Structure 1
Amino acid sequence: MSQRFLLTIAAWAGACFVVYATQCPPRDRPTFPILSNLEHVAAFAVLGALFCLAYPRRTSAVLIFVLGSAALLEVLQLLTPDRHARTLDALQKVVGGAAGVFAGRVILYFDRARSWFQV
């Protein structure tokens, strides 16, 4: 299997996990031993980086998808009685997603730059 294929699987699996963690009842929600604010940022940063690396020629589509899903998942919490949507949570997810896409672009840039100097 190619590296790109594995990145694509990881990106979509990560997206499924984030959707589940965002929409499931609080008692079923996976938690990590870090602050929830940092958890939001980290989850979407990883998601943004994975999608950016999986789809390197579609950065604007990746950015729209990651940032849009951050906002949409927060709005969907308004439809569930046991979850609550907060503007701060949405902002943290958007910042994390943007940082992840930026990190993915940096990784791609340095990977490409490294190949320039190889003989």
Structure 2
Amino acid sequence: MSKASRILGWSLLAALVFVTVCPIGLRPVSEAPVWLERFGAFALLGFLFALGYPKHRWQVLVLTAGAAGGLELLQVLQPSRHGRVPDFLVKVAGGCFGAAAALAVSFAQRLSAMAAFKR
């Protein structure tokens, strides 16, 4: 699970880099509000990295926040895009939410294992 989470996490980050710095016309569009797309993408990123690197949760938060900030700054290089602080904050909140969800999943797994051990 850990190795798959790492591969998926790094693949998602690469995809996020592409869709963030590509011209606006190439950006995938869904029916969801843009803020929800950003939050969801970074929640999944934080979740995958936190599952993939369970002993490095603080580094995962730093990486996720750094990626959010770096991607917002990279948008300045693309004339049809713009980096904004509110977008950065939504992405960081998503990354933190995803990492917290991964922590909750691993905590639930440990509780389940302990309960099975006591039987």
- Report TM bin, short chain: over 0.9
- Whole-angstrom CA distance in 2 between matches of 1:34 and 1:59: 29
Q: CA deviation at 1:111?
A: 1.0
**Corresponding residue for 2:90?**
92
Question: 1:60 Cα deviation (Å)?
Answer: 0.8
Q: What are the superposed Cα offsets for residues 17-42 of structure 1, whole Å, 9 maximum, x if unpaired?
A: 11111111111111221000111101
Q: Match of 1:54? A: 52
Cα distance in 2, alignment partners of residues 22 and 111 from structure 1: 35
Provide Cα deviations, 1:83-115, integer angstroms capped at 9, x if missing partner.
111111111111111111111111111111111
Which residue of the partner structure matches residue 117 of structure 1? 115
Q: 2:68 aligns with which of 67, 70, 82?
A: 70
Deviation, structure 1 residue 6: 1.2
Relative to the length of structure 1, the TM-score reads: 0.93
CA RMSD of aligned residues (A): 1.0
TM-score (norm 2): 0.93
Inter-partner Cα distance in structure 2 for 1:7 and 1:100:
13
Q: Displacement of 1:13 after TM fit?
A: 0.9
* 2:30 match: 32
Aligned match for 2:79, one of 75, 81, 101: 81
Hey, what does 2:12 align to over in structure 1? 14
Give aligned pairs, total.
117
In structure 2, what is the Cα distance between the partners aligned to 1:49 and 1:70?
15
